[in-house]
Amino acid sequence: MLGRVIFFSGCLAAGALLGFWLDEYWPEYDAVPIGLVLAAAIWIVLDSARASQFLVWLRRDRMADGGPKSGVWGEFTDRVRRMLRERERQTKESQARLQDFLSALQASPNGVMLLDGEARIEWCNQTAAAHFGLDPQRDLMQTIGNLVRDPGFVSYLAARNFETSLTMPGRDSTPSHPVTLSVQLHRYGDGRKLLLSRDITALDQAEAMRRDFVANVSHEIRTPLTVLAGFVETLQTLNLDESERQQYLALMAQQADRMQTLVSDLLTLSKLEGSVPPGLETRVAVPAMMRQLKNDALALSHVMGAAGDTDHQFAFECAFDGYLAGAPSELLSALGNLISNAVRYTPSDGRISVSVRQRTDGCLVFSVADTGPGIAAEHLGRLTERFYRVDRSRSRETGGTGLGLAIVKHVAQRHGAILSIESTVGKGSVFSLIFPGSRVVPTAALADADTVAGSLSVLQDVPASAAIANSNPG
């Protein structure tokens, strides 16, 4: 500002000097005031030109070079340029933070949707679009109530009471593949709303499974308990002869064994789910395991046969002379359950084929084929669920708890194996466990004799019929 005053004063001084000089040529005129006015006019013209240059720069690209270079207007130009550059830097940082925030919302597993005061969509992430079947670009500024026509959601939106969440089916929900969403609205800003959606299908199914599990366990235990209580009351109140007492005691022992087997299977499942998967250090000899399974199958068939005899036709084929890495007790339990199911559900004159072979890719395939009644296709996907039975009455007649195939599934998962089920109604079923090649050890490749001896001793310590006679069909 001082420079501006000095420049204006200098112009006036120059005008005054010009007036004194002109007085020598035109003494009849007082030229000093004329010089001062002329100097002031020149200063105003020059200052207006700088101001015009400054305005032209402001109206154009204000970040580019240009505008006055010196003086007050030059300082104005520099200060405005620095201020604009700082504001642009802050704007870019804000935009970057906004993009990071939107990217985080896009990556969220939950649906996020922003609605204005009229419930129109201002923004939504891909998850929310998938939940409600929307197009994030096409459906912008569309009213959410016109796009999501679920009656429950429409009522929830109209009620304007958003203290609790809403459970509703997703857009892709079908009877065979249900999708359940948890939706809740939150108010923010000036009448705007934040819509959050979450896929709770897995949680809903887990809760349903928990309820079913508790109900099934309660039912399975209540039935033998009721029978036991009835027999105990009969023995206490009636004067029975010895044969009748022995008959009732035998039935009571049968129901007690059923309860004990159920509890044992539940403990086995709990142990399988909570323990570390078996490593590759312990190995079991496949031929020895097949001999053990064959003896147990014959024993179970003999027990179930009429008058202590059986007409089951067995065929055991072991086309692999080597070892399988894993927990011997778990492997015997899983394979024994498959054979037990075949024995229990195959008619007495039916055929049961058990085979072990190694595929060209190194995997070991353990298969159990029977000529039983077969299983309808709609049941195959649920056979490994706990307590799931195709025919409940027949399963109880054969002494099953409904946990056998669940145990097989968990043992297979712990050993990296795959459970394959093929069945045709009226022709029979084939259950196969496919173990990965990493757990298959041919005889020639086995160098640790102590481990082999330990595995064989485990098999020898298993009592006859223990692996199968005490196992239960799924």
Residue range of the domain that includes 40 = 2-100
Distance CA 355, CA 453 (A): 24
Question: Who has greater pLDDT, 219 or 357?
Answer: 357
Nearest residue to 176 (alpha-carbon basis) of 377, 426, 403: 377
Does residue 216 sit in the same domain as residue 281?
A: no
Shared-domain flag, residues 457 and 353: yes
pLDDT tops 70 at residue 29: no
3 state SS for 272-313: HHHCCCCCCCCEEEHHHHHHHHHHHHHHHHHHHCHHHCCCCE
SS3 4: helix
Mean pLDDT taken over the chain: 79
Pair 345, 370: CB distance under 8 Å: yes
Mark whether 331 and 368 lie in a shared domain: yes
pLDDT value at 293 more than 80: yes
Report whether pLDDT(449) > 50.
Answer: no
The H-or-E segment that residue 201 falls in is helix 201-237
Residues 387 and 343 reside in one and the same domain: yes
- Tell me the pairing of strands 180-188 and 418-424: unpaired
C-alpha angle with apex 151: 145 to 156, nearest 5 degrees? 65
First to last CA, the chain: 96
Indicate whether 414 pLDDT > 60: yes
Output the pLDDT for position 205. Answer: 80
Tokens of 468: 């199968």
Q: Which of 48, 73, 100 is the last residue of a domain?
A: 100
Q: What are the tens digits of pLDDT across the range 239-268?
A: 878 888 888 888 888 788 878 877 877 777
Last residue of a domain, one of 56, 72, 100: 100
Residue 380 lies in a domain: yes
Helix, strand, or coil (residue 354): strand
Judgement on whether residues 373 and 445 belong to the same structural domain of the protein? yes
- The CATH code of the domain that includes 157 is 3.30.450.20
Residue 116 lies in a domain: yes
pLDDT on residue 265: 76
285 plus 421 within the same structural domain: yes
Percent of the chain with pLDDT over 70: 78
Task: Assess whether pLDDT exceeds 90 at residue 354.
Answer: yes
Residue 167: C-alpha distances to residues 209, 234, 238, 465 (Å): 18, 51, 57, 51
Q: What pLDDT was estimated at residue 6?
A: 64
Beta strands 440-442 and 418-424: pairing type?
unpaired
E strands of 180-242, at which residues? Answer: 180-188, 192-199
- Total tally of structural domains belonging to the chain: 4
Q: How confident is the model at residue 383 (pLDDT cuts 50, 70, 90)?
A: confident
Annotate 61-118 with DSSP letters as a single string.
-TTSS-S--SHHHHHHHHHHHHHHHHHHHHHHHHHHHHHHHHHHHHH-SSEEEEE-TT
Residue 35 has pLDDT above 70, yes or no: no
Say if 33 falls within a structural domain.
yes
Both 229 and 159 in a single domain?
no
Cα 44 to Cα 4, 36, 38, 51, 87: the distances in Å are 12, 12, 10, 10, 33
Question: Is 268 inside a domain boundary?
Answer: no
Give the model's pLDDT for residue 352.
92
Residues 144 and 31 in one domain: no
Note whether residue 271 is domain-resident. Answer: no
- How does pLDDT run across 166-205, given as a tens digit for each residue? 999 988 888 778 889 999 999 988 889 999 999 998 888 8
Which has more pLDDT, 213 or 161? 161
Of 380, 297, 287, 285, the C-alpha closest to 336 is 297
- Of all residues in the chain, the percent with pLDDT exceeding 90 is 19
CB contact at 8 A, 144 and 157? yes
pLDDT digits (tens, 9 = 90+) for 304-343: 764 445 567 889 999 888 899 988 888 988 898 899 888 8
Indicate the pTM of the whole model. Answer: 0.53
Is 188 within a domain?
Answer: yes
Looking up residue 234, the CATH number of its domain turns out to be 1.10.287.130
Buried b (16+ CB within 10 A) or exposed e, 8-26: eeebeebbbebbeebeeee
Mean pLDDT of 132-159: 89
144 and 63, same domain (yes or no): no
pLDDT value, residue 307: 40
* Separation of alpha carbons 178 and 381, rounded Å: 15
* pLDDT at residue 135 tops 80: yes
Q: Nearest CA to 466 among 297, 291, 286, 315?
A: 297
In a domain, 267, yes or no: no
The verdict on 231 and 323 lying in the same domain is no
| Residue 269 belongs to some domain of the structure | no
Give the separation between CA 258 and CA 64, rounded to whole angstroms.
Answer: 90
- Please state the rounded mean pLDDT for residues 449-466: 45
- Of 238, 262, 286, which closes a domain? 262
- In what helix (H) or strand (E) does residue 440 lie, and over which residues does it extend? strand 440-442
* Residues 362 and 446 occupy one common structural domain: yes
How buried is residue 236: exposed, middle or buried, by Cβ count under 10 Å (0-12/13-18/19+)? exposed
Q: Is residue 36 predicted with pLDDT exceeding 50? A: yes
pLDDT of residue 71: 67
What CATH number should be reported for the domain holding residue 377?
3.30.565.10
The Cα-based distances of 410 to 131, 404, 406, 407, 419 in angstroms read 32, 10, 6, 5, 10
CA distances, 204 to each of 182, 387, 469 (Å): 10, 19, 37
Instruction: Write down the pLDDT at residue 278.
Output: 83
Q: Which amino acid, 241?
A: D
The residue among 147 and 222 whose pLDDT is bigger is 147
- Statement to judge: residues 77 and 115 lie in one domain: no
pLDDT for res 28: 58
Tell which wins on pLDDT, 129 or 395. Answer: 129
pLDDT in tens, 213-238: 777 777 677 777 888 888 888 888 88
